[in-house]
Amino acid sequence: MLKAMIFDFDGVLADSMPYHAQAWKIALEEAGVEINIEDIYEVEGSNHVGIIQLMFKKVGKTPHPQQFDEIAQKKREIFSEISNLETFEDMDKCLFILKKKFKLAVVSGADRNAVYNMVNQFYPDIFDIIVTGEDVDNGKPSPEPYIKALEMLDVQKDECIVVENAPLGVEAAKNAGLYCVAVPTYVGPDKLNKADIVLEDHNTLKTYLHSLYSGQI
């Protein structure tokens, strides 16, 4: 029986990833790493350590140990300056209904302060637990973030589903042995083909979630 739902935040609950991607691009370029916005969308869901490692590797470089904190801090500063966040239409109403029946969680690769600030701003008193990129040693695509969420929710794998929008997030959910629903917010649906089901858009997602609430699936 379904008891819990776990949501990625950026790209699933808030249209925030363009600002994250732009902030990463600027911060990395200042560190001598030239990337495209699409490169960040490909690794969305990883924590800051993973993103920095992957972007340096992409251009054939290796970050110095101190650069992890330096680049991450610069990215945070840029993100706070340029972000103008919006949620996806009526996702708050959808979650309010789901909360009556299911335990709800957020699992995000973003920094703790950023995630908590966004959740408190847009979805106050909705989620039972939150796991951020700073709460795990290994970010997505490692299963660790989702395994941690399962433990905190006190549910079994077959009692929970994950809603993701990023390739690494889908991979993390499947690595954790979880049923994964994907929505192609920033990448094509073909990039999410490891998910159990790929929905067309957020309107379709809301319909799907409501059907789970009403027991129609």
Q: Is 195 exposed, middle or buried (0-12, 13-18, 19+ CB in 10 A)?
A: buried
Could you give the CA distance from residue 34 to residue 90 in angstroms, rounded to a whole number? 37
- pLDDT on residue 98: 97
Backbone angles phi, psi at 77, to 5 degrees: -65, -45
pLDDT tens-digit readout, 182-205? 999 999 999 999 999 999 999 999
Task: Please list, in sequence order, all residues whose beta carbon lies within 8 angstroms of the beta carbon of residue 150, skipping any fewer than 6 positions away.
Answer: 156, 157, 160, 176, 178
pTM for the predicted model, two decimal places: 0.88
- pLDDT on residue 45: 80
- pLDDT on residue 210: 95
pLDDT tens-digit readout, 43-70? 888 889 999 999 999 999 999 999 999 9
Cα torsion at 22, 23, 29, 35 (round to 10°)? -40
Q: Strands 129-131 and 160-164, how do they pair?
A: unpaired
Q: Above 80 in pLDDT, residue 82?
A: yes
- pLDDT on residue 214: 87
Q: Strands 160-164 and 4-7, how do they pair?
A: parallel
With b for 16 or more beta-carbon neighbours within 10 A and e for fewer, the 133-171 pattern comes to bbbbeebbbbbbbbbbbbebbebeeeebbbbbbbbbbbb
Say how far residue 201 (Cα) sits from the centre of its chain. Answer: 16
pLDDT tens-digit readout, 22-44? 999 999 999 999 999 999 988 88
- pLDDT on residue 199: 98
End-to-end CA distance of the chain: 11
pLDDT tens-digit readout, 84-141? 889 999 999 999 999 999 999 999 998 899 899 999 999 999 999 999 999 999 999 9
Q: Above 70 in pLDDT, residue 216?
A: no
Q: Above 70 in pLDDT, residue 217?
A: no
Domains of the chain: 4-16+87-214 (3.40.50.1000), 17-82 (1.10.150.240)
Nearest to 103 by CA among 151, 153, 32: 153
